[in-house]
Structure 1
Amino acid sequence: MTDAPARRGRWRPVRHTAVGLASLLVLAGTGFAWTQLSRLDSDLATADVIAPSAQLPAGRDSLAVAQNILLVGLDSRTDVHGNPLPQALLDQLHAGDSADGGDTTDTMIVVHVPAGGGSATAISLPRDSYVQIAGGHGKHKINSAYTYGKQAALATLSGEGLSGAELEREAAAAGARTAIETVEDFTGLAINHYAAVNLAGFYTLSNAVGGVPVCLKAPVHDSYSGADFPAGEQTLSGAQALAFVRQRHGVPGSDLGRIARQQAFLSGMAEVVLDSGTLTDPARLSALVGAVTSSVILDRGWDVLTFAEQMHNLTSDGITFATIPVQSLSLATPYDGDAVKVDPTQVQGFVDALLGGASGRTSASSGTATTPASVAKQAAETAGAATTTPSSVSPESSTDLSGCVS
């Protein structure tokens, strides 16, 4: 396939639930078989979405530079090539039909990797955060930034004569760039890398690792997501795992509760991939690499081999999970219904404090940061809810992600 001009770039759309995206981080975060990593470097779909000013030095020079990775999940029912997912699979995932969903980024996580690697901080951004959208689109929920960028590009590029698959690829890349710029403006962090995964991708990734252990405080039944689990410890994969991280109906705190579940699941996945022999088991490793190459899209400039070298000392204990501070869960907006009220200045202060300390914990009281100790069978102690203070609302959590999720 011939690359388009630099402003457009090669793009193959992928969509939804970003929980699976951290599989890419933890997979590349060890010094495992370089032949498998070479498959990632050569087979992954890519898109030209990172601004030149945020691109990292080439090769080993990038090892000495801190980086910020935006992980997103787009709410669409297509595969990595833009083709509709099979209806049988959508039925299994309780995802409606191919006409459902859209181009919103239902999950957004910024992963900060310090210079030299060896640790990582994953910062969740509630999808309904009410922010200024880049490109002059006004204030809206942050999950719509991709949509606004894509729709504007569709109008412009179709006027230039583009159509069909080429038009879809270029508009999708524009949507990703708008989402990236919006996150940069909101958090104060320069985004150096971008990754996304779709519904089927997360399904495949969770199956590839053989399931992830989780723990629930009480039984769950939710017809919207398909979540139907007993209380206690259990191992989830495929459609079950997707239902666990997608559920927000009946979860205290709604999307904040869902974020807590995502963080707990990522902790469990990190444990399975990094600490339980997945990377030394040829069959499981091959399945995991195959799942990543078939499900994940990266920015075109991401040197996966060098990134793996930077992160070769990463363990599950070296991943810190955090959620930005929010001020209200029910901000009335002119056009977008109720949104999550956030203060960019407060958020940027929280991020600065979080990333400024060697421990990965923050001194700011208005957000939450958690570092897992032994992540299998652990989950966020959030009660899924939000605790109200005079200036903020934040998910309750323990500092070690111990306990069961609500």
Structure 2
Amino acid sequence: MLVGGEPGPWGPNVSGGRRWRLLRRLATVMGVVVLVAATGLGTTGVLLLRQAEASLTRVPVQRLDEAAAPSDARHFLIVGSDSRDGLDDEQRSRLTLGEFDGQRSDTVIYVSISQDRSAVSLVSLPRDLLVNDGDRQRKLTETYAGGPDRLISVIQENFGLPVNHYAEISLGGFISVVETLGGVDLCIDDPLVDRKSGADFEAGCHRMDAEQALSYVRSRQGLFGDYERIARQQQFLRATLRELTDTQILADVPRLFRLVEDVAGNVTTDQNLGVGEMRAVAQEMRQVITDGVPMVTVPAYPRKINGIDYMIAYRPGTEAMFDRLRQGVPLMDAGTRDDRAEAPVALMSGGRTDGAGIVGSVLQFVGFPILTAGSGPAELDAGETTTVYRLPGNEDEAEWVASFLGAPIRDLPASVTAPEGAEVLVAVGADAAA
């Protein structure tokens, strides 16, 4: 059940940019924890924590949930700020930032540390996600005008997600960390030229400085807009985490302290996120950081309402994903975007064309190639519940699809032949358009 007893803004029945934005800022707030975790909480780790504590800015946040026990899962809300405060005139003129003053929230990141401390999950909530905010519907990014408590309240009431801690990271934090690291290594498959973000890269591997990395993670170039950018930002975060835990960085104690100062000096947190909590997070993350951090995006599909573009959360997939987070258990394996790009999915509509269109959009936005397979045989009619059918040898691919659709997985009956080229088959049920 969702907090407040009312359903969230699930589509498709709904009433009638510029972005920064995502994991590049999460890299800064996670950076303190990662550095401390990697150094092992010896004397250097403790000093790093104390330095971070002294440099952080605190703000009162009233809507936070208090964990009932130390063993409970921990949930963080990370917000990137559009504010240009802290950038000097040279940085403003050199970087392709667009014309904007003030502050907005960008794409929001929900970070969950599982109850058994075996996994850290990162879920991005697109800034254009449609939410109920009091008596009106609006984009998630617009709710931040009311401050962190308003944003947290909207997330709690729409999606039933607990929030134990809050952190906000400035644009200056991103720039400072990349500069102190001396750049970040990123490889891209295709050329990227984007006048709006300033990106101009050939295919291949690049050692990107702060200006180049900023233009890369800001780019919305591609068929799926913000979801293309989210994929780039997730790639950037993985690369940054690798840099932060590199043995050369960890052995350079003066550089470690400069990094912590860069990070913490550009982070604002709630009043309760102190040294003790940071130490606990560092200890927990140390066990899982080398295994990689799962990064996914809320399954959603686009809709234009009264001339405005929104992303509508796909109810079955989002409810299943958020239910796992609420329970404090790891998310299902969703693969990487590169993995998903090599896993074609065949859709059987069962005559439910509206639902098939929605499911197809949800899967395309997270990177799956889609094959249409008509209505499909009567024996695969999904009825009320959309169903994922695994094909022999493609068990992992079926789980990736199910992780976004919140759908059960079944073996494909021997009497049914899968469409040529498909690695997963999805039979669309009535719940897809409910």
TM over 0.5: yes
Task: Give the AA of the match of 2:286.
Answer: H
Deviations, residues 263-322 of structure 1 (Å, cap 9, x unaligned):
111111122213544233213311210111221111110122333233332324241111
Aligned residue number for residue 67 of structure 1? 74
Tell me if 1:17 matches 2:21.
yes
Partner residue in 1 for 2:179? 207
Amino acid at match of 1:71: I
Matches within 5 A, 1:44-193: 44-51=56-63, 54-56=65-67, 62=70, 64-79=71-86, 85-97=87-99, 100-115=100-115, 117-133=117-133, 136=134, 138-147=136-145, 149=146, 175-193=147-165
CA distance in structure 2 between the aligned counterparts of 1:214 and 1:101, rounded to whole angstroms: 30
Q: Per the alignment, do residues 267 and 370 of structure 1 end up closer, same or farther by CA in structure 2, a change over 3 Å counting?
A: farther
Following superposition, the deviation at residue 251 of structure 1 comes to 2.3
Post-superposition shift, 1:358? 6.2
Cα distance per residue 1:102-132 (max 9 Å; x no partner): 4331121101012353531000111111111
Q: Which amino acid aligns with 1:319?
A: V
Asked if 1 retains the 8 angstrom alpha-carbon contact of 2:78 and 2:109, the reply is yes
Instruction: Give 1:195-234 correspondences, 5 Å limit.
Output: 195-234=167-206
- Which residue in the other structure is 1:306 paired with? 280
Task: Establish whether residue 391 from structure 1 lines up as the match of residue 358 from structure 2.
Answer: yes
Where 2:161 maps in the other structure, the secondary structure is coil
Report the Cα distance in structure 2 between the residues aligned to 1:185 and 1:344, rounded to whole angstroms.
Answer: 15
Give the distance between the partners of 1:245 and 1:341, measured in 2 at CA: 23
Count of residues in correspondence between the two structures: 328
Note closer, same or farther for the CA distance 1:359–1:76 as it changes in structure 2 (3 Å cut).
Answer: closer
Say whether 1:320 aligns with 2:291: no
Q: Secondary structure at the match of 1:233?
A: strand
Cα distance in 1 between the residues matched to 2:229 and 2:328: 27
Alignment equivalent of 2:48, drawn from 15, 18, 36: 36
CA drift of 1:225 comes to: 0.8
Q: Secondary structure at the match of 1:269?
A: helix
Shift of 1:200: 1.8
Name which structure has the greater RCO, CA cutoff 8 Å, separation 6+.
Answer: 1
Write the letter of the residue equivalent to 2:72.
Answer: V
**Deviation by residue 1:319-356 (Cα, 9 ceiling, x = unmatched):** 11111111x22x1223x711112245641222224776
Larger Rg over CA atoms: 2
* Equivalent residue number for residue 162 of structure 1: none
Larger CA deviation: 177-186 vs 277-286? 277-286
Check conservation: 1:71, 1:195, Cα contact below 8 A.
yes
Aligned partners of 1:118 and 1:318 also within 8 Å: no
The equivalent residue for 1:5 is: none
How far residue 244 of structure 1 moved from its aligned partner, in angstroms, is 0.9
Cα offset, 1:86, TM superposition: 2.1
Q: Distance in 2 between matches of 1:191 and 1:357?
A: 12
Counterpart selection for 2:245 from 274, 285, 297:
274
Q: What amino acid is the match of 1:96?
A: G
Q: Which residue of 2 aligns with 1:332?
A: 304
CA contact (8 A) 2:25 2:171 kept: no
Q: CA deviation at 1:21?
A: 2.0
User: What is the aligned-residue RMSD (CA, Å)?
Assistant: 3.0
Contact 1:121 1:319 in 2 (8 A): yes
Query: For each residue in 1:79-101, what CA deviation from the matched residue of structure 2 results, as whole angstroms up to 9, or x when unmatched?
Result: 3xxxxx3232112221135xx15
**TM-score, reference length from structure 1:** 0.72
**Superposition deviation, residue 201 in structure 1:** 1.5
Task: Check 1:65–1:318 CA distance in 2 against 1; reply closer, same or farther (3 A cut).
Answer: farther
TM-score (norm 2): 0.68
* 1:227-306 correspondence runs (5 A): 227-248=199-220, 250-303=221-274, 304-306=278-280
Q: Which runs of 5+ in 1 are unaligned?
A: 1-14, 80-84, 150-174, 363-368, 372-378, 402-406
Q: Distance in 1 between matches of 2:121 and 2:327?
A: 11
